[in-house]
Structure 1
Amino acid sequence: MDRPYADLLDRLERFYDAVPRDVARAEEHGGCVLFVREGPGWPFYARPRLGADRAPSLADLTTVRNRQRELGLPEALEWVHEINPDLLAVARSAGLGVLEAPLMVLDPEAVGDPATYTDVPVRMLAAAAPDLAADVAARRAVAAVGFAAPGTSRGAGGPAERDAAMIGLDVAALDEERARIADGSRLSALAETPSEGALASGMAMRVGDVAEIAGVATLPSARRRGLAAAVTATLARALLADGTGLVFLSAGSEEIARVYLRVGFRRIGTACIAEPATVTP
């Protein structure tokens, strides 16, 4: 690996380690660290331990997975292949299925104008907005429907399915969203029309001058309209305007990575996401 990419990947490793720590406790299991959320919210994952003197072993994976089952957590393990190249074979030998996702960073000089991708308006969520709870619920519902039908092809899931997936936020979840938007550690965007409502959504998480764009999703019925590119570009431009020095994301497939290439991202590596392999009868 050339030195510039190594520097970028080192910064991403520190980001991955830092993101969960303000809401989760870190348990070390050999070469792995398991992040356990202390309150309600989306569960975290295990990762190779930052600064460990060895890569996670098969025994480490067995230990951390047993602990995840004990706690009722998903058996999820994430890492960057270029940092831990031997872990792919170890994870597969443990019976884990591994998604190899293109890991991409933004070229600040190449980021596109959202208006060039679609005529659907994209707006950022504001901490002081009176309808923040409804906006966050819409963001989550769009993501739930969109990720249930992976890829970029058009499909049947649309506004009706989004509305059926809407779940209200409790007070603690809304307070967390508002606080994170206010302090700049979380950004959210919605692409919507007055007649159709929210059609695409996305968010970004930031620690220091590094941010990850994640959860970009489009309702299947609204695909092929440039919405994912517009949401991604809107988030990227907002991050850059606020002084973020490094913006990155992981694409769900090579096909999806082509959307991000249009926005100004380039591939620097592979993000691996492992979970128990699905056995086909």
Structure 2
Amino acid sequence: MDTHHADLLDRLERFYDAVPRDAARAEDHGGCVLFVREGPGWPFYARPRLDAERSPSLADVAAVRARQRELGLPEALEWVHEINPELLAVARSAGLAVLEAPLMVLDPAAAVDPASFTDVPVRLLDASAPTLAADVAARRAVAAVGFGAPCTGRGADGPADRDAAMIGLDVAALDEERARIADGSRLSALAETPDEGAVASGMAMRVGDVAEIAGVATLPTARRRGLAAAVTAALARALLAAGTDLVFLAAGSEEIARIYLRVGFRRVGTSCIAHPTPLTP
């Protein structure tokens, strides 16, 4: 691994460690650190400790999973394979299923105009807009329906399913969302049509000059129209305009990674996401 690539992966590793810390407490479990969210919102993960002298052992993984079960949290463990290559075999020996997701970084010179993918407009959420609560609920509902059908092909679920998945935000969650958008540490985007409403969504989390695009989803009935690429491109261009010089994401599969290649991303490694192996009937 050359020095530039090593430095890039180090910046990504430091981002992964930093992004939960404003909203979570960190618990050390051997070579792992578990981030426990203090308020409302999506639960965080466990990762290898940034300052650890060794990769997490089987005992470390067992200890952090036991703590997650004790707290009622998902047994989620994430890491960058190139930083902790030994952990893949350890996680699998612990009975965990591991998604090996292409880790991709944006080439700023190759960033593409969202309009080159679709004529459906993409807008970024405004912290001061009176529609913020409805917009955030729509973003989350699109993601829930989209990730419920994990592929890139068209499907039957559409606007009616999105509307059924809409859940109102409590005051604390909405205040947190508004504050993150206002200070630039979070961007959210919606692609909408007059007839269908929100059909694709995504978000980005930013710490300093590094940002991760995540949660890009499209309603199955609206797929194959360039919407995921447009949402990703809109978020990427907004991040670059705000002074972010390292924009990255983890693609859910090699097929999905091809979408991001068209937006200007290139593969730099593998992001591993481990969870308990589903029980067979």
Q: Same fold (TM over 0.5)?
A: yes
**Amino acid in structure 2 at the alignment position of 1:192:** E
Matches within 5 A, 1:257-276: 257-276=257-276
Partner in structure 2 of residue 124 of structure 1: 124
SS at match of 1:42: coil
Find out whether 1:177 has 2:158 as its counterpart: no
CA drift at 1:208: 0.4
Q: Distance in 2 between matches of 1:98 and 1:2?
A: 27
CA drift at 1:5: 1.2
Matches within 5 A, 1:11-26: 11-26=11-26
SS at match of 1:20: coil
Partner in structure 2 of residue 30 of structure 1: 30
Partner in structure 2 of residue 191 of structure 1: 191
CA drift at 1:279: 2.6
Q: Distance in 1 between matches of 2:113 and 2:82?
A: 31
CA drift at 1:151: 1.2
Find out whether 1:80 has 2:75 as its counterpart: no
Partner in structure 1 of residue 277 of structure 2: 277
Matches within 5 A, 1:24-63: 24-63=24-63
Q: Distance in 2 between matches of 1:41 and 1:116?
A: 34
Partner in structure 2 of residue 147 of structure 1: 147
Q: Spell out, residue by residue over 1:110-160, the C-alpha distance to the aligned partner (whole angstroms, 9 max, x if none).
A: 011100100100000000011000000000000000000011000001000
Q: Spell out, residue by residue over 1:53-97, the C-alpha distance to the aligned partner (whole angstroms, 9 max, x if none).
A: 011000000100000000000000000000000000000000000
Moved over 2 A (4+): none
Q: Spell out, residue by residue over 1:195-249, the C-alpha distance to the aligned partner (whole angstroms, 9 max, x if none).
A: 1100000000000000000000000000000000000000000000000010000
CA drift at 1:39: 1.2
Q: Distance in 2 between matches of 1:234 and 1:15?
A: 21
Partner in structure 2 of residue 246 of structure 1: 246
SS at match of 1:142: helix
CA drift at 1:280: 2.3
Find out whether 1:134 has 2:134 as its counterpart: yes
Q: Distance in 2 between matches of 1:142 and 1:163?
A: 9
CA drift at 1:51: 1.6
CA drift at 1:3: 1.8
Partner in structure 2 of residue 237 of structure 1: 237
SS at match of 2:21: helix
Partner in structure 2 of residue 220 of structure 1: 220
Partner in structure 1 of residue 89 of structure 2: 89
Structure 2 spans left out of the alignment, 5+ residues: none
Q: Distance in 2 between matches of 1:230 and 1:41?
A: 26
TM-score normalised by structure 1 residue count: 0.99
CA drift at 1:2: 1.9
Q: Distance in 1 between matches of 2:166 and 2:179?
A: 22
RMSD of the TM alignment (CA)? Answer: 0.5
Q: Distance in 1 between matches of 2:43 and 2:95?
A: 21
- Percent sequence identity is 85
Find out whether 1:162 has 2:172 as its counterpart: no
CA drift at 1:277: 0.5
Q: Distance in 2 between matches of 1:229 and 1:23?
A: 29
Aligned length: 281
Partner in structure 2 of residue 255 of structure 1: 255
SS at match of 2:262: helix
